[in-house]
Amino acid sequence: MYLFILKRILQSIPVLLGVSLLTFIMVRSAPGGPFDQDRNVPPEVIKHLNEHYHLNDPLWKQYLDYLWSLLHGDFGPSFKFQSHTVNDLIAAGFPPTMELAFYATLFALIFGLIAGITASLKPNSLQDYVPMSTAMIGICMPSFVLGPLLLLIFGIWLQWLPVAGWGQIDGDKILPSVTLGAAYAAYIARISRGGMLEILSQDYIRTARAKGLSTARIVFVHALRGGITPVISFLGPAIAGLLAGSFVVETIFQIPGLGRFYVQAAFNRDYTMIMGCTIFFAFLIVIFNLLADVLLVLLNPKLRQEVSGGR
Amino acid sequence: MKHFLRILLMFISVIALSDCKKHKTLVELGNEQQILHVGNGDEISTVDPQSTSGMPEYHVILSLYEGLVSKNPQTLEIVPAVAESWEVSDDGMVYTFHIRDSAKWSNGEKLVANDFVQSWLRGLMPALGNEYASSYFVIKNGQNIYEKKVGVEEFGAKVLDQQTLQVTLIAPTPYFLQLLDHHSMYPVHIPTIKKFGALDERGTRWTRPENFVNNGPFILSEWTPNKYLSVKKNPNYWDAKNVHLNEIRYYPIQKSSTEERMFRSGQLHATYYLPRDKLAVYKKTKDPALRSYANYATYFYRFNNRIKPLDDVRVRKALAYSIDRNKIVEYVTKFGQIPAYSLTPPDTHGYVAQAKMPFNISLAQKLLAEAGYPNGVGFPELKITFNTSDEHQNIAVAVQQMWKQNLGINVVLENTEWKVFLDKEKQMDYQIDRASWVGDYLDPNTFLEMFITDNGNNRTGFSNSHYDALLAKAALESYKEKRMAYFQEAEKILVDSVPILPFYTYNWNRLVSPSVQGWYDNLMDYYPFKNVYLIP
């Protein structure tokens, strides 16, 4: 098992290097520079700024210098937000993004699993159709539609919840979490329904029923463990997707998260910030995929045997 | 199943319990505690007044610093600030400022004449990359020091004594006092900057709330990027007794719809902007929160004067004369803009451009025929380039239609990302592109100097030696009437040569809660918070 984890960690190093090189090349080949503005900036000012940020060095040197400072945990200064380093901005933006992703996942898991399991218990009945159609709507409705809709109802009309902010007013975390989590709840509902249906048709479940066990016992003790395996393999990439894809929700709800910095950085040609965010998100995606794989191995005896047997 | 139901019930009750009590809104609380919550457009890059250029930065900097002079927010007339009085020599070349005795830095140190000299010299350090370094070029030897041709001891700003500053200019610059209220002219606390790095080093930690020293009515208190920046009342400010607000929170909200929702639900006292489609609603309901006023800015198209067929003035005239600007502002932009037929916005300190481009379709058709394209026959397909925005797109579509209908010519539209757009414009890799200009100070010069031959903002290829000479003369002229006459003549050349196609003078629209007092609308969108207060 440890060997498996170590192998996966070692595999991620070339992935991260590749991501950093590719991002560097793409960012630097985009037209326009970080100091271009609507108003003319005198060429000598641009020259001094380029010197200050070492943008006059050969590209390969800039890339190697960047990697070197990265090894020391330094993502460099932000070109646009001069008063902050990229480390400062990631440190400021990541906690809200992480928290948002956590609540959204929690919401998605609770509602997704309830809907999925409920539907799987009576397939092709009203109990199946209602949650599954709702899930379909959840998948189809993008967050930039759902967010403003929820805001209009709960924020403006009913005035139950704040319309923006994060951790400033009581309850301001609810609507963003629901908006971000809704689509994932819907996916989880469909996946868990599928997983549960498969398990519930297995012989050992029939045996359990024949023994006269209650539905709750069959579901929670016998079926759930196998039924939610597909959900877990979905969760790894999903959490990474929630983190990296929270930009829209962060913008709608004015959340000071990393997603907003990331997108702004691209528009500002804030080279170091783009690099920093990309590498950071790539690292998170690698980590969450690894965690999901480890969890799957732990839950699935067949996989466990494969990993420990080295086959 | 029961477990799940229990968890579900718990989840719902947590939501319900946390939100059923009716809280006071931020605005209501703010009114009680004199805390202003205001939308500020975008996250600011820095609070260093000598290495920034954006409007959101400017609005924050206005609370943190104060120059020698300031402006009356109602009339935009120059009023004393750090300098309690000043004299100007007869030839308009030497200004002597008397700094008030009570002027202090936020750490309690006395603010003296030398602070201004040292700050301006810092602004002239090339390595700092100050985009407004040319602001100091009106001061004797400013440019020479920037170009390292003379030593700093030759600078035209001299300390006569602790309280007296003498500034010698290279020419009588009638807008010099206006220029002094520009953020690049504000004093910075040199010892603090030195403590955290070299004087000309960007982005050192002196701009952090825990290190920051300034001289304005408020001090930097908290700064969480993309959340808010908070400033609090500065007890060491010379006029602190007239500062009523205890705190201002600037929210960097890019989406105007988010901002408007926050305003409606009592989370903001004032928005930075208003969603385009909401103006009609607020106007219809005569909402007292709506503020709508002309802005010192012009929306126009640049013609690339160097390429065919746009190098022919008759073609440019035909294109400009066939645009119905009234229709554009009334049916397309719908944001209260004023149609513009020349470059400078109307009524800037008494100056109203007399030369105007006509809207005359038959004349436009005649000119196009004279240029060799009767009814648009044989006219090459032109491209209008604009940066991604619904507004630019809509205007371009309207223009496309008007040219098609009125002149029989075809244009295609090219939508590009902002930095790509800027790159193309600077390389003059465009045919027609959208542009705008916001005046830095209340004087026609801030608009007209853009089209001097070698001005970096010209970007049209337009070059007229007479035009350049007129602006050079205006720069040396101290009599207002004569100066204005030079500007009128220059603007006539611009209107006759049509290097650009002006569309409208901008209109600013924002929401300001009626509880906010002392906030005035003006052409420069200048709203210092020094005298603003809140009523319940």
What is residue B9's predicted lDDT score, i.e. its pLDDT?
A: 52
Contacts of A259 in chain B (CB under 8 A): none
- A237: Cβ–Cβ under 8 A, 6 or more apart, which residues? A285, A288, A289, A292
Tokens 């007209």, located at residue: B448
Q: CA A222, A223, A226, A228 torsion: positive or negative? A: negative
- Of chain B, the end-to-end C-alpha distance in Å amounts to 52
In a domain, A173, yes or no: yes
Closest chain A residue to B29 measured between Cα atoms?
A: A169
* Torsions phi, psi for A92 (to 5 deg): -80, -40
Tokens at A80, concatenated: 């646009």
> What is the ipTM metric for this complex?
0.84
- Residue B10: the pLDDT is 55
What single-letter amino acid sits at B249? R
Whole-angstrom Cα distance, residue B188 to residue B115? 7
Task: Specify if A67 maps to a domain.
Answer: no
| Nearest residue in A to B422, CA atom | A38
Q: Is B227 on the interface with A (CB under 8 A)?
A: yes
| H or E element at residue A199 | helix A174-200
Sheet holding B338-339, edge to edge: B338-339, B500-511, B290-303, B432-438, B382-387, B411-416
Of A41, A81, A170, the CB nearest to B19: A170
Minimum-distance CB partner of B265 among A117, A155, A166: A155
A178 occurs within a structural domain: yes
| Number of domains chain A is built from | 1
Judge whether A49 lies within some domain: no
Closest B-chain CA to A106: B11
Say how far apart CA A192 and CA A174 lie, in whole Å: 24
Which amino acid is located at B415 in the chain? N
Distance from CA of A111 to the nearest CA of B (A): 8
Q: What is the pLDDT of residue B6?
A: 54
Please name the residue that has the structure tokens 């206006």.
B178
* B53/A159 CB distance under 8 A: no
Could you give the CA distance from residue B170 to residue B62 in angstroms, rounded to a whole number? 28
Separation in Å, CA of B129 to nearest CA in chain A: 5
SS3 of B86-145: the string is: EEECCCCCEEEEEECCCCECCCCCECCHHHHHHHHHHHCCHHHCCCCHHHHHHECCHHHH
The upper half-sphere exposure of residue A279, i.e. CA atoms within 13 Å in the direction of its Cβ, equals 27
Chain A positions touching B261 (Cβ under 8 A) are 151, 155-156, 163-164
What is residue A122's predicted lDDT score, i.e. its pLDDT?
A: 83
Closest C-alpha to B215, from B332, B416, B65: B65
Q: Is residue A253 part of a domain?
A: yes
Q: Is residue A297 part of a domain?
A: no
Name the residue among A199, A207, A202 with its Cα closest to residue A226: A199
If contacts are CB pairs under 8 Å, which of residues 426-485 in chain B contact chain A? 426, 436, 455-457, 459
Instruction: Single out the residue of B39, B83, B32 nearest to residue B60, CA to CA.
Output: B39
Interface probe, candidates B5, B132, B134, B226, chain A, greatest A C-beta count within 10 A: B226
Q: Choose the mutation target among B17, B261, B298, B459 for the interface with A, i.e. most A CBs under 10 Å.
A: B261
Phi-psi category of A269—alpha, beta or left, where left has phi over 0 and alpha has psi -120 to 50? left
CA–CA dist A141, A187 (Å, integer): 12
What is the model's pLDDT at position B17? 47
> What CATH number does the domain containing A197 carry?
1.10.3720.10
- Domain with A205, as residue range(s), is 92-257
pLDDT number for residue B4: 47
In one-letter notation, the amino acid at residue B238 is: W
| Residues of B with Cβ-Cβ distance to A33 under 8 angstroms | 419
Q: Per DSSP, what are the bridge partners of residue B501?
A: B301
CA B453 to CA B306: how far, in whole Å? 13
Cβ–Cβ of B261/A164 closer than 8 Å? Answer: yes
Does B127 contact A at CB distance below 8 Å?
Answer: yes
The one-character DSSP state at B375 is G
Distance CA B166, CA B136 (A): 14
Å from B160 to nearest chain A CA? 32
B202–A82: do the CB atoms touch at under 8 Å?
yes
Q: Confirm if B381 and A231 have CB atoms less than 8 A apart.
A: no
Give the chain B residue nearest A96 (alpha carbons): B227
Task: Name the closest residue on chain A to residue B435, using Cα atoms.
Answer: A38
Residue A268 has pLDDT above 90, yes or no: no
CA atoms of B156 and A31, how far apart (whole Å): 41
Which tens digit of pLDDT belongs to each residue from A29-86?
888 888 887 877 878 788 888 888 888 889 899 999 999 988 888 898 888 888 888 9
**Residue B149 burial class via C-beta count within 10 angstroms: exposed 0-12, middle 13-18, buried 19 and up:** exposed
Pairing, β B500-511 against β B290-303: antiparallel
Residues of B in contact with A252 (CB under 8 A): 255, 258
- The predicted structure's pLDDT at residue B20: 47
Q: What distance in Å separates the CA atoms of residue B311 and residue B428, rounded to the nearest whole number?
A: 13
Q: For residue B57, what is the nearest residue in chain A, using CA coordinates?
A: A81
Which letter does DSSP use for residue B245 in this model? Answer: -
Collect the ranges in chain B with pLDDT lower than 70.
1-22
pLDDT of A243 strictly over 90 = no
Q: How far, in Å, CA of A72 to CA of B436, rounded?
A: 44
Pairwise CB contact (< 8 Å): A155 & B255: no
Measure in Å the smallest separation between the Cα of B253 and chain A Cα atoms. 7
Q: Identify the DSSP state of A156.
A: I
* Per-residue DSSP letter, B270: B
DSSP class of B223: E
Predicted local distance difference test score (pLDDT) of residue B13: 53
* One-character DSSP codes across chain A: -HHHHHHHHHHHHHHHHHHHHHHHHHHHHSSS-TT--SSPPPHHHHHHHHHHTTTTS-HHHHHHHHHHHHHTT---B-SSSTTSBHHHHHHHHHHHHHHHHHHHHHHHHHHHHHHHHHHHHSTTSHHHHHHHHHHHHHHHS-HHHHHHHHIIIIIIIS--S-SS-SSSSTTTTHHHHHHHHHHHHHHHHHHHHHHHHHHHTSHHHHHHHHTT--HHHIIIIIIHHHHTHHHHHHHHHHHHHHHHTTHHHHHHTT---HHHHHHHHHHHT-HHHHHHHHHHHHHHHHHHHHHHHHHHHHH-HHHHHHHHHT-
**Mean pLDDT, rounded, of chain A:** 85
Question: How far away is chain B from the Cα of A261, in angstroms, using its nearest Cα?
Answer: 8
Nearest to B509 by CA among B332, B329, B273: B273
Q: For residue B219, what are its two tokens?
A: 């001090």
- A171 and B18: CB-CB below 8 Å? yes
* N- to C-terminal Cα separation, chain A: 12
User: Which candidate from B3, B254, B456 shows the least CB-CB separation from A40?
Assistant: B456
Residue B15 has what pLDDT? 53
Q: Which residue has the tokens 């170009």?
A: B147
**Looking at CA atoms only, how far is residue B131 from chain A in angstroms?**
6
- Position B27 scores a pLDDT of 94
- Across the interface, of B1, B48, B261, the residue whose CB is closest to A156 is B261
Q: Which residues of B touch A276 (CB under 8 A)?
A: none
Please report residues of A whose CB lies closer than 8 A to that of B203. Answer: 77-78, 82-84
User: Could you tell me the two tokens for A27?
Assistant: 């960012």
Beta carbons of B203 and A82 less than 8 Å apart: yes
Beta carbon pairs, A and B, within 8 Å: 163
Is the CB of residue B37 less than 8 Å from the CB of residue B534?
no
- Which chain A residue's Cα is nearest to B229? A256
Of residues A40, A89, A110, nearest to B225 (C-beta): A89
- Tokens read off for A206: 């029939």
Of the candidates B107, B119, B109, the one whose C-alpha atom is nearest the C-alpha of residue B49 is B119
Query: How close does chain B come to A50, measured CA to CA in Å?
Result: 9
Which chain A residue has its CA at the smallest distance from B1's CA?
A216
B41 vs A contacts (CB less than 8 Å): none
Is A2 contained in some domain? no
* Residue B536, number of CB atoms within 10 A of its CB: 6
DSSP B169: B
Nearest alpha carbon to residue B386 among B322, B435, B423: B435
> Is residue A24 in a domain?
no
Q: Does the beta-carbon distance from A52 to B202 stay under 8 Å?
A: yes
